Amino acid sequence: MSRSWSISCGLMLPALLLSLAACVSGMQEYEGSAQQWQEEVQLQDGRVIFVTRTEYYSAFCGGGGARCVTSRGPAARGKIEFEHADERAVWAERMRPIILQVDRGAPVVVATFVSCRQYLVYGDSNRSVPPYLAFRYEGGQWHKVPVETLTFPPQANLLVSDAGFGSWTSLERKKEFNSRRGLSKAYLGVYPKRPLCQ
């Protein structure tokens, strides 16, 4: 390598890194694309209900009219809609829902975090929030309750991802997907030893 090439590389690399840092620091997160599907969900009493699931993905946009880039990694927000007691119940949080059950007559959603960004919405640097949160639907509103107080088995009964299944997911297809090797056990049930955001 010639001396002139070494000098030019030495000058270009810091400039490139500075440009990249400026680009990343100027990025802002917005809600980007969404994936929606219908899903069969089996409850602990044997009933099968139909829910509408939506996952919203993050879009990161730079300043100065830069194009937005949608992340198809972990969803930024999850939503579940279903009928309960003659009304439409809608759960929506910046978490991944893994369980929908009925506990002593009330619907309950158990959800977990898929990224540090999500965790910091609910938690803090002292890790004071557990890795799983439960939400109980009563009086037309969702209320946080301790996971330890729930009476149903802590196994996931929701599809852990949209998984490209299209607009409909049956119990059979969901069971097949959720039993694949390589899926983190943190999404297949309440896993007490799950590490939090590092």
pLDDT, tens digit only, all 198 positions of the chain = 544 443 334 433 433 333 333 344 444 555 567 889 999 999 999 999 999 999 887 766 655 555 666 555 556 789 999 999 899 999 999 888 999 999 999 999 999 887 777 777 776 666 667 889 999 999 999 999 999 899 998 999 999 875 656 788 899 999 988 888 778 888 889 987 776 665
Predicted model pTM: 0.75
CA R_g for the chain? 21
